[in-house]
Structure 1
Amino acid sequence: MLVALAANPRIRRLVRETVGGLPRQFWWLWVSTLVNKLGAFVITFLSLYLTTERGYSASYAGLVASLFGLGSAVAAVGAGVLADRIGRRPTLVAAQLGTAASTAVLGFVDGQVAIAVVAFLVGLCNNATRPATSAIIADLVPAEDRVRAYSLNFWAINIGFGLSAAVAGVIATQGYLTLFLLDALSTLICAVVIFIRIPETRPVQPPTAEKTGDGPAIGLGTVFRDGPFMAVVGLNLLLALVFQQSSTTLPVDMGAAGITATEYGLVIGLNGLLIVILQIPLTRWVEGRSRTGLLIASCLLTGWGFGLAALAGSSAWLFALSVAVWTVGEVLSTPTMMGLVAELSPAQARGRYQGVYSLSWSLALFLGPGVGGVVLQYFGAGVLWGACGVCGTVAAFGHVALARRTRSTAVTDRATEVTVPATEPAKAPADA
């Protein structure tokens, strides 16, 4: 059957249009991402390890998770700066080597303070890979193919996470130390692949860069003063806070509703399964469509997908429907947002821009569990899931306003060019 499918001209054309035309170096990066996520055992099982294997309290496990998120937030900005200053490849290789070393140490270290410090370092090194990876993709892949490239990279991440989560439980029965060491080994392999196969992609600074404002002279202050870009970051933070509820308040609410741990595993596993199945077809479907329309749809699907949980009661099937809806929103949102960020980022400052964008996810990882937990405890599940719907709606309206502002700015720029000779080509609207 597989041979027949491979021989089908339509299938071959679909595969060629989906994966064809991308640089060879991108595929080496894709392979390294897949291998890394296939071995990403520790993040998934860290809280369970601390409470069951080490006997620490749930509150201490939550503190360690927050410190991991804090390390991720620091790395988001710091690694972005390094990717622009010293290069994408050395930043990525150093981050992966640091992740491998700190993950291995975390498997041996004992004592609450020591574990907390090392967990912070794991979060710091682990998230330092994100700005450099995103910048490499933006450097390597032409603008018209970036959404497809980011989508394929997101696909690799979810395939890896899905398989690692399924296998990690079996490996953990042989001892949690094995998980830590295998995670470190997979990350070390990725560092070697990047070092050997991925060239430095940072654009060469032109001699006039300092005068024109292009290049590394663009500092973090410039990034934070970039109004349209920071609006995108703020809208993504709002949506990321909603996504964080899937691993924190959602299992708590489902448990309170009488959903068993097995049923929860099947329901939340639907997220990874649907991403693997839908990511490529939906990526093909979105090509040529309005980016603003896709972002609006993704915000509404995400927000009100979580909002459906308010109606689930004790039905695992309705919880599964909720997961299915917000998963479609996630599939639409992630590569589309990454493509938008790459477009808004000056070539010489892509590391900084990707780092600040990554900061929104790190802040959500740090703030989301606490905020969601407080709302669930003091106001109830209905208010929590309704608030998720409101956040999604606000984010959708935010993208509408941002698109209107961008179009208005573009019209003003074109009007100025009619009366004043332009010194450089006009920039296309962000929603082009």
Structure 2
Amino acid sequence: MNFKWLITGALFSSIGMSFVWPLTSVYLHNRLGVSLTWIGVVLLFNSLASVLGSYLGGYLYDRKNPYHLLVGGVVASTITLLVLIFFHGWPVFGIVLFFNGISGGWNLAIVNSIGTSIKTKDSRYVFNMLYFVQNLGIVIGTSLVGFIYSISVTLMFVVASLLFIIFLGIVITKYKPAANESRKRVSDTEKTTWDAKHLPRANTIILITFFMSLFIIWIMYQQWVSNLSVYMTGLGIPLRNYSFLWTVNAGLIVISQIIINWIARYHENLIMQIFFGFSMFAVSFITLIFAKTYPTFVLAMVILTIGEATALPTIPALVNVLTPVEAKGRYQGLIQSYASAGRAIGPLFGGMIIETTSYTALFVIATVAVLVVLAATVVLWNALHGKLTEYQ
């Protein structure tokens, strides 16, 4: 599999998806008059659909032809977008978004799993670049979607469909070697009969630690996405300033990945990157506790982004090292599933804490939760790293 085409496909997929999710709430509420409660339900089920799609995609990657799986997933995503061109009223939009969530999670898990079969590049570089192009796609997509949305909602779905048709063309013509490369090393019988019990105990504990860490980190991260806008506008900060924070986030991720990939040429210590990234997440929430002015929120976002860019793409790379070829798809799918589950629960969790206590209490709880994640990861890694089995 040519790595160039893997990241090109991931880029088109990310841009295409960025035409759908950023404006879902605005479109449903302002254009279709859907209540915020129903919008919450739609977004929850979309996230849960992504969990299901990620798990199934990763699970089947180890057992079936990855090329066929990805073609099927991209076709399914394209069909959902084509349907939205003609039928984007309520409740059809919400129903289609559920199936789009399944196919989106499926495709992401398959693409990341194919990334494990790339042996011409260091695994950390592979996952850093995948993370880089996925965020670059978000930068491009979100910068265009507001302009296109103001012209026509239908045009927004037309452009998204065209992007996925291009992605499908790339997959059909360039991704076929991925199936052969990833399946040569292990027979179908071995892939089908492999059981999680075969994984060394130390590996299993560390992997579970990573999955739970991602789940908790994403619950807390979602507070930036869902509740910070209300908090900041309540302090008299314009909504456009909140939106600019995400421009800062996306731009810093792109810059950070370039720097991290350069450093990776000379130093390689995956676990230290994860420790550092988790530490930055905690510092960002500590900063939020005291944030009352816009520059402080910008500082908190910069710190959060450094943590995100350092830790989140490194976890799939380390999971790849700790899992055998028979099960790489399963565990890459679980990474996306736990992350999606955290994203699904995050807004509800934050809303409950805010309603019963305050925003400050939410930031304190987030800080403590991330510090617990960091401490647990450090303790378990130090206790078990000498017993870990590494795989190619």
Q: Establish whether TM, by shorter chain, passes 0.5.
A: yes
User: Within 5 Å, which residues of 2 pair with 1:390-405?
Assistant: 390-405=368-383
The equivalent of 1:371 in structure 2 is 349
Q: Which amino acid in 2 is paired with 1:303?
A: A
Shift of 1:242: 1.8
1:301–1:233 Cα change, 3 Å: same
Q: 1:32 aligns with which of 4, 9, 32?
A: 9
Q: Which amino acid in 2 is paired with 1:202?
A: S
User: Within 5 Å, which residues of 2 pair with 1:192-203?
Assistant: 192-198=169-175, 199=177, 200=179, 201-203=181-183
Measure the CA separation in 2 of the matches of 1:123 and 1:135: 18
The equivalent of 2:309 in structure 1 is 331
Measure the CA separation in 1 of the matches of 2:372 and 2:242: 29
User: Is the deviation greater in 125-134 or in 86-95?
Assistant: 86-95
Measure the CA separation in 1 of the matches of 2:40 and 2:243: 20
Q: Which amino acid in 1 is paired with 2:14?
A: K
1:221–1:179 Cα change, 3 Å: farther
Unaligned stretches of 5+ residues in structure 2: none
The equivalent of 1:295 in structure 2 is 274
Q: Which amino acid in 2 is paired with 1:299?
A: F
Shift of 1:369: 1.0
Cα deviation per residue 1:52-102 (whole Å; 9 max; x = unaligned)?
Answer: 111111111111111100110111111112212222221112111111111
Q: Which amino acid in 2 is paired with 1:231?
A: T
Q: 2:192 aligns with which of 216, 221, 234?
A: 216
The equivalent of 1:341 in structure 2 is 319
Please say which structure displays the higher CA radius of gyration. Answer: 1
The equivalent of 1:309 in structure 2 is 288
The equivalent of 1:383 in structure 2 is 361
Measure the CA separation in 1 of the matches of 2:169 and 2:112: 19
The equivalent of 2:127 in structure 1 is 150
Cα deviation per residue 1:331-352 (whole Å; 9 max; x = unaligned)?
Answer: 1012211111111221122111
Measure the CA separation in 2 of the matches of 1:244 and 1:106: 27
Measure the CA separation in 2 of the matches of 1:169 and 1:379: 35
Is contact 1:224-1:230 (8 Å) kept?
no
1:257–1:286 Cα change, 3 Å: farther
Is contact 1:295-1:399 (8 Å) kept?
no
User: Is the deviation greater in 338-347 or in 398-407?
Assistant: 398-407
Shift of 1:408: 4.4
1:222–1:324 Cα change, 3 Å: same
Secondary structure of the corresponding residue to residue 173 of structure 1: helix
Shift of 1:113: 4.2
Is contact 1:218-1:349 (8 Å) kept?
yes
Measure the CA separation in 1 of the matches of 2:88 and 2:391: 54
Measure the CA separation in 1 of the matches of 2:391 and 2:329: 22
The equivalent of 1:414 in structure 2 is none
Secondary structure of the corresponding residue to residue 140 of structure 1: coil
Measure the CA separation in 2 of the matches of 1:86 and 1:64: 31
Shift of 1:206: 4.3
Q: 2:163 aligns with which of 163, 179, 186?
A: 186
Identical counterparts, % of pairs:
22
Cα deviation per residue 1:124-163 (whole Å; 9 max; x = unaligned)?
Answer: 0111012211111110135x71111111111111111111
Cα deviation per residue 1:264-311 (whole Å; 9 max; x = unaligned)?
Answer: 111221100111122111232255243222211110101221331221
Secondary structure of the corresponding residue to residue 258 of structure 1: coil
Shift of 1:37: 2.1
2:102 matched to 1:124? yes
Cα deviation per residue 1:363-413 (whole Å; 9 max; x = unaligned)?
Answer: 012111100111122211111111221122112112212212323425xxx
Secondary structure of the corresponding residue to residue 191 of structure 2: coil
Q: 2:144 aligns with which of 167, 172, 179?
A: 167
Is contact 2:15-2:141 (8 Å) kept?
yes
Secondary structure of the corresponding residue to residue 312 of structure 1: coil
Measure the CA separation in 2 of the matches of 1:148 and 1:272: 19
Measure the CA separation in 2 of the matches of 1:117 and 1:386: 37
| TM-score normalised per structure 1 | 0.84
Is contact 2:186-2:326 (8 Å) kept?
no
Alignment length (residue pairs): 385
1:221–1:358 Cα change, 3 Å: farther
Cα deviation per residue 1:157-199 (whole Å; 9 max; x = unaligned)?
Answer: 1111111111111101111111112112211211110111112
2:208 matched to 1:230? yes
1:256–1:223 Cα change, 3 Å: farther
The equivalent of 1:114 in structure 2 is 92
Measure the CA separation in 1 of the matches of 2:213 and 2:185: 31
1:110–1:41 Cα change, 3 Å: closer
Q: 2:225 aligns with which of 216, 223, 247?
A: 247
1:399–1:187 Cα change, 3 Å: same
Is contact 2:53-2:105 (8 Å) kept?
yes
1:256–1:222 Cα change, 3 Å: farther
Shift of 1:203: 2.3
Measure the CA separation in 2 of the matches of 1:309 and 1:319: 7
Measure the CA separation in 2 of the matches of 1:306 and 1:218: 41
2:184 matched to 1:204? yes
Measure the CA separation in 2 of the matches of 1:261 and 1:383: 23
| TM-score normalised per structure 2 | 0.92
Shift of 1:111: 5.8
Measure the CA separation in 2 of the matches of 1:188 and 1:221: 40
The equivalent of 2:250 in structure 1 is 272
1:251–1:220 Cα change, 3 Å: farther
Q: 2:112 aligns with which of 109, 131, 134?
A: 134
Secondary structure of the corresponding residue to residue 406 of structure 1: helix
Unaligned stretches of 5+ residues in structure 1: 1-22, 411-426
Is contact 1:306-1:323 (8 Å) kept?
no
Is contact 2:57-2:333 (8 Å) kept?
yes
The equivalent of 2:31 in structure 1 is 53
User: Is the deviation greater in 338-347 or in 401-410?
Assistant: 401-410
